[in-house]
Structure 1
Amino acid sequence: MEQALLVKIGGSLREADELLDEMGAYPGPLVLVHGGGPKIGEWLGRMGFETRFHNGLRVTPLEQMEVVEMVLTTLGKQLAEGLSRRGRPAVALTGRDARLLTAEVKDAVLGRVGEVAEVNTDVLQKLLQTGLTPLIAPIGLDEQGPLNINADTAAGAVAGALHLPAVFLTDVVGVLRNPQDPSSRFAQLSRSQVQVLIQDGTISGGMIPKVEAALNALDRGAPWATIAKGTRGILPAVLAGTKGTRVVGK
């Protein structure tokens, strides 16, 4: 059987078609985690809410959480439909379903923003055993209700809990020595190399949270994690090591 993978995809339906084709064509089991930041921002604006960020995370007051959950849940259903039409039957889930993602408040300053405390892996294993693809929206649950979780962080937690390799699909080809030169991609980096590259400024800006998500996946039990651009043929190429940057523990 082909390698089972955890794949984090973006939440933009406009860019989803080619990516869903790739996921549908992959012959092995997949667990998918999706984001939805731009759509959330759009709907919050429509509803008259102000969007604020703190340390790169969306501040989510209680009164905005309902909109965040609505958008992510709807996106999940639309993506699951797209996958199912491509021959990969998918089930859209959030942390509410069977208490899939129990979570804790990350920082009171952020409001209803959480970190994953526990993943109900039994539910995911049972879905995979029946040939279904779990498609997870990053909504966690604590005793007060739903929590908004960064999609990359949620993906790392799920990959670790299932001990699956994590593939973070993004808009860049990987970690680059020179941000202006796609050919300067690092094929593989160790944890210690990542830390050095952050310290010397080679890894900067938006790439920092991506490598931190990869390290989070390793911390939680994933054997490796790859950051790669979501293009045609990407999953076989990631497994072959010919695309993306693979982050390993040592």
Structure 2
Amino acid sequence: MNFLVIKCGGSIFEQLPPSFYQDIMDLQIYGGYAPIIVHGGGPTISNLLSQLNIETTFHNGLRVTTDDVLDVVEMVLNGLVNKQVVRSFTAVGGKAVGISGTDGQLLKAEPIEQDSPLGFVGKVTGVETAMIQQLATQNQIPVISPLSADVYGQRYNINADMAAAAIAQALEARLCFVSDIPGIYTTEANQPSILSTVSQEQIEDLIASGEISGGMIPKVRAAMDGLSHHVPEVGIINGLESHSLPAFINGETIGTTITLDEEGTHAK
């Protein structure tokens, strides 16, 4: 089965037009792909935390997650954003099933590191691919929120980029990060430009220089990890650009394609 993992950032959901979901349906019906959606929800989580007067901070682009923060993350991702995405597919005639990484032990997790300042932030140690494959054979689109638990039932907040990369690895699927920006920027002579392709070496240089920062760091790290573990292709595209996803799938030059070895080039 030809799987396609699509990770949508939380900052873009309110802006995505129905045509974006229709494009995914067309890829499923006519393109022979089995789409899988992994979503974030960062801005909505931050807004609710603020309303509840719960402090939230970030460390290396990842949200520091206390037990109180985790309650809000779970409410927003599983109860609000997940079902919003499912409804969006229903509105264009699609069939989608909203689940979290906790359901059926879809995503197995452990702490991202011992004695981490991040609190209850986890990393994926295994993916229950049978559940995804079963849904795909029924022409259902899995919509996955990146929460998980360990063997003891302890909940963990998983960065959505990392969760998407882990699922793509397990299925050896193409991976596309959908955001509200058209790719990875760099600056030369005070002029910003988009890298049409970017290599692992360039990414490390851009992180060191500060041009890649914040939430983009776990995204590119997840991309490189996926590429080194049987993910055939990783791209970052702007979901607000008309038909950007089919363009990426069809090999057109759009957004940023991340590679392990090739020398990156600037988009014109």
TM-score (norm 2): 0.83
| Paired AA for residue 66 in structure 2 | P
How far apart, in 2, do the equivalents of 1:69 and 1:147 lie?
Answer: 10
Unaligned runs of 5+ in 2: 262-268
* Higher mean displacement: 41-50 or 154-163: 41-50
Mapping for residues 185-200 of structure 1, pairs under 5 Å: 185-199=194-208
Measured after TM superposition, the shift of residue 197 of structure 1 is: 4.4
Checking the alignment, whether the CA contact within 8 Å between 2:109 and 2:123 is kept in structure 1 is yes
How far apart, in 2, do the equivalents of 1:41 and 1:175 lie?
Answer: 24
Query: Which SS does the other structure have where 1:87 is aligned?
Result: coil
Aligned counterpart for 1:236 among listed residues 229, 235, 246? 246
Residues 46 and 116 of structure 1: CA distance in aligned 2, closer, same or farther (over 3 Å): same
Residues 232 and 47 of structure 1: CA distance in aligned 2, closer, same or farther (over 3 Å): same
Residues 46 and 215 of structure 1: CA distance in aligned 2, closer, same or farther (over 3 Å): same
How far apart, in 2, do the equivalents of 1:79 and 1:4 lie?
Answer: 19
Unaligned runs of 5+ in 1: none
More strand by share: 2
Aligned counterpart for 2:126 among listed residues 118, 122, 142? 118
How far apart, in 2, do the equivalents of 1:121 and 1:187 lie?
Answer: 32
Question: What is the CA deviation profile of residues 115-165 of structure 1, one whole-angstrom value per residue up to 9, with x for unaligned ones?
Answer: 111111111111111101111101011124221111111111111111001
| Paired AA for residue 102 in structure 2 | R
How far apart, in 2, do the equivalents of 1:192 and 1:10 lie?
Answer: 25
How far apart, in 1, do the equivalents of 2:245 and 2:210 lie?
Answer: 26
* Higher mean displacement: 116-125 or 59-68: 59-68
* Higher mean displacement: 78-87 or 157-166: 78-87
Aligned counterpart for 1:33 among listed residues 28, 35, 38? 38
| Paired AA for residue 232 in structure 1 | S
Residues 110 and 193 of structure 1: CA distance in aligned 2, closer, same or farther (over 3 Å): closer
Q: How many residues align?
A: 247
Aligned counterpart for 1:106 among listed residues 97, 106, 112? 112
| Paired AA for residue 104 in structure 1 | E
Mapping for residues 1-250 of structure 1, pairs under 5 Å: 4-11=3-10, 12-18=12-18, 19-27=20-28, 28-74=33-79, 75-107=81-113, 108-142=116-150, 143-178=152-187, 184-199=193-208, 201=209, 203-206=211-214, 207-230=216-239, 231-239=241-249, 240-250=251-261
Residues 144 and 109 of structure 1: CA distance in aligned 2, closer, same or farther (over 3 Å): farther
| Paired AA for residue 169 in structure 2 | G
TM-score (norm 1): 0.89
How far apart, in 1, do the equivalents of 2:123 and 2:102 lie?
Answer: 14
How far apart, in 2, do the equivalents of 1:16 and 1:177 lie?
Answer: 26
How far apart, in 1, do the equivalents of 2:186 and 2:65 lie?
Answer: 35
Q: CA RMSD in A?
A: 2.2
Measured after TM superposition, the shift of residue 196 of structure 1 is: 4.3
How far apart, in 2, do the equivalents of 1:197 and 1:46 lie?
Answer: 35
More helix by share: 1
Question: What is the CA deviation profile of residues 213-238 of structure 1, one whole-angstrom value per residue up to 9, with x for unaligned ones?
Answer: 21122133211100111122111211
How far apart, in 1, do the equivalents of 2:98 and 2:237 lie?
Answer: 24
